Structure 1
Amino acid sequence: MAEWTWVAYTVAEVLIAVACCFGNALVVCAVCVGIRDSLREPTFCFLVSLAVADFLVGVAAVPLAVVLDGWVSLTPDLCLLLSCVVLVLTQASVLSLLAIAIDRYLRLHTPLRYKSLATQKRTWLAVSVCWVLSCLLGFTPLFGWHNYSPLTSNNTSSSSSSFILPPCTFLSVISLPFMVYFNFLGCVMAPLLVMTLLYIRIFWSLQGRLKDSCPQAQASLLRERRLACSLALVLILFAGCWIPLHLMNCLLLFQGPHAVTQGTLYTGILLSHANSAVNPVVYAYRIPKIQQAYSQLWRRFLGGINCCHENKQIRASNTGS
C-alpha cells in the first residue's frame, strides 16, 4: 500500500479513536450522572455496557489495529493474546445489543411480571454474564484454534539464540476458518438474526396495540416505539459497519488472499471501528433522556467555567485593591 494511503488510514484511525473515547465517556457520564435513577432501568444499564465496550474500542482496539499490522515483532503467543482483545470487545457489543433487545421484548410482552423479573441485581448479573461470555468467546483462539504451532515456535526460538521474532499481524495468528465459521456465523450472525426477529415482533405488537388502545395509552406506546426505533437503528448500524469486514474474511477464506485488496480491507476495518464512534451521536439525537442528560452536563460545564472566571476576577480585584 502506498505511503500516503497508510498515513491517511492512520490519521483516520486516530480520529476515530478520539471520537470513540470522548463520545462514549460522555454517554457513560450522561447516564450515570445526568439521568436520575437511570441505572435502575435495565435498558440504560445495557447501554452503559455497550458504551464501555465502544470506549474500549477507542482505547485498545484501534491502537492495536494500527500497531499489530506488521509494525512490531512479538512472540506468537503475545500477538495472539492482543489480537483476541478485539474479538472480546466486538462480542461484548453484540451481547449488549442482544440484552437490550431481550429487555425491550420482555418489557412489552410481560408488563405485569417485568418489574419482578428485571430487578437491578438481575440486570447487573446479566451485564456480568455478557462480559464473561465475551471473554470466553473472544479468547477461544488461545485454546488452540489459531494459525501457528506453539511447539514449533518454541523449538525454533530455543535452537537459535539469534532467532528473529516475526512481524505480528491479526491474520498471521487468527485462523480465517475461525473468523468465518465461529466468529461470524456463530457469534455475530446468529445473535443478529435473533435480535432482528425480536424487533420485528416488538414493532408488530406495538402497531397492533396503537390501533386498539385509548388516547391516554397511546402516548406511552409512542414513546416505547420511538425508543425501540432508536435501539433498532443502533443494531442496523452495527450490522452495516461490521458485516462488510466479515464478508471480506469470507472472500479471503474461499478465494484466497488476492480476493480482497489491502485498501479495501483497511476500509472495512475503518468502517467497523467507526461504528463505536457513531453510537453516541445516535443516542444524542434519538433518545430524549440522553438528550436531556447531555444538556444538563453542558450546563454544568458552562456553569463551572463561569464560576472559575468569576473567581479569577475576584482574585484579580482583591490583588489590585
Structure 2
Amino acid sequence: MQTRDFIYITSELVVGFVSVFSNSVVLAAICRTPRLHTVTNVFMGNLALADVMVGISVTPCASLSYVGLPRSFYGCVFINSILLMVTNVSILMMLTIAIERFIAIKEPFFYDRVLSITRAIFVNIFVWVLGLSLGMVPLAGWNTGYHEVEYCEFRDVIPAEYMVYFQFFGVVLLPMSIMLLIYIYIIIIVRKHVRRSNAISEHFQGKPVHDHFKKDVKSARWLSMVMLLFGIFWLPIYILNLLRLFCPQCQYSLSFLLAAIVMSHANSCINPFLYAASNSRIERAIKEMLGL
C-alpha cells in the first residue's frame, strides 16, 4: 500500500469515527432531555442522524470503492450511490429547517398552531424517503451501462451527466438557492423587526421585547452557517465533477481528488459543534450527559 493510499483510508476512517461519535452525542442529548423536545430540534436531530449515517456507511463504502471493491457492476453502483442518498437527505433536511425557520419568523401564530413534533417526525420520514429515492436513480438505470467490472471506480459507473445535471444542478444547487432566498428574506424581516423593537423598547423604558423572535433568529443564523460550511466543504468535489463533464481534457492530481472527497465527508464532523455553539440548552445537555 502506498503512502497516499494509507493516508486516504486512514482519513476516511477517522472522519467516520468522529462523525458517528459527535453526532450520536447530539442525538442522545436531544432524545434524553425533555426540554429539547421541540420541532426545530426534531429537524436538527434528523440532520445529525444523516451525519451519523455518513460515518457508518459512506466513509467505509468510499474506502471499499477506492481499493476497487466490489468487483461487480451493480454492487459498484450501489456502494457509490450510498453517498448520494445520504447527501441528498442532508440537503433536503437543511431546506426543511430553512422553511421551518421562515414560517416561525414570518407567521409565528400559524407555526404554533400547525407545526407539532408528530408532524415534524412525518416530515423527517418523507425527507428520508425522497432523499434515498433521488440517490437511487443510478440503480434505476441512469448509470454508464452494464459492463464487467474488474476494479470498482465511481467514474466508471456513475456518469458525469448525472452528477452535474441531476445531482448538482437539481438536488444541490436548486435547494441551496431556495435557502439563500429564504435567508435574504429573513434578514429583511429581522432588520424591520429590530427598528420596530427599538422604538417599542424606548417607549417602555428599554425593556426587552420579543425574546422568542430572538431565539428564532439565532436558529436561522445557525442554519445559515451550516449551509455556508456545507457549500465550502462540498465545493471542491463538485468543481471536479464540472471539469469532468465540461473539460475532460483538464488534468488534476489524484491526491487533489482524494482530498476533495475526504473534505466533503468531513463536513459531517462540523455540524455537532455548531449545534452546541448555537444552542446553550444542547450544549448544557451534552455536558451533563458526558459529566463535564
The number of equivalent residue pairs is 284
CA RMSD of superposed structures (Å): 1.7
**Pairs within 5 Å for 1:177-256:** 177-213=161-197, 214-215=200-201, 216-256=208-248
Quote the residue 2:204 is aligned against.
none
Q: Choose from 75, 78, 84 the match for 1:81.
A: 78
Contact 2:104 2:216 in 1 (8 A): no
Quote the residue 2:251 is aligned against.
259
Quote the residue 1:95 is aligned against.
92
Q: Choose from 138, 141, 160 the match for 1:141.
A: 138
Cα-to-partner distance string for 1:128-149 (whole Å, 9 max, x where unaligned): 1100101110001112110123
Q: Secondary structure at the match of 2:82?
A: helix
Q: Distance in 2 between matches of 1:48 and 1:242?
A: 21
Quote the residue 2:24 is aligned against.
25
Cα-to-partner distance string for 1:98-145 (whole Å, 9 max, x where unaligned): 010000000111111112221222211111110010111000111211
Q: Distance in 1 between matches of 2:82 and 2:23?
A: 19
Quote the residue 1:160 is aligned against.
none
1:258 shift after superposition: 4.6
Q: Secondary structure at the match of 2:108?
A: coil
Give the partner amino acid of 2:105: L
Q: From the CA coordinates, give the structure whose radius of gyration is larger.
A: 1
Quote the residue 1:312 is aligned against.
none
CA shift in 2, pair 1:286/1:120, >3 Å:
closer
Q: Choose from 102, 111, 122 the match for 1:114.
A: 111
1:168 shift after superposition: 1.0
CA shift in 2, pair 1:63/1:257, >3 Å:
farther
Unaligned runs of 5+ in 2: 202-207
Q: Secondary structure at the match of 2:152?
A: strand
Give the partner amino acid of 1:53: A
Q: Secondary structure at the match of 2:144?
A: coil
Contact 2:243 2:250 in 1 (8 A): no
Quote the residue 1:309 is aligned against.
none
Taking structure 2 as the reference length, what is the TM-score of the superposition?
0.92
Give the partner amino acid of 1:175: P
Q: Distance in 2 between matches of 1:75 and 1:247?
A: 28
Unaligned runs of 5+ in 1: 154-164, 303-321
Q: Distance in 1 between matches of 2:210 and 2:113?
A: 24
Q: Secondary structure at the match of 1:259?
A: coil
Q: Distance in 1 between matches of 2:39 and 2:92?
A: 14
Q: Choose from 28, 40, 44 the match for 1:43.
A: 40
Cα-to-partner distance string for 1:57-95 (whole Å, 9 max, x where unaligned): 011100111111243242101111121111100000001
Contact 2:105 2:186 in 1 (8 A): yes
1:218 shift after superposition: 4.7
Q: Percent identity?
A: 29
Taking structure 1 as the reference length, what is the TM-score of the superposition?
0.84
Q: Distance in 2 between matches of 1:84 and 1:8?
A: 24
Structure 1, 283-292 or 192-201: larger mean CA deviation = 283-292
Contact 1:252 1:260 in 2 (8 A): no
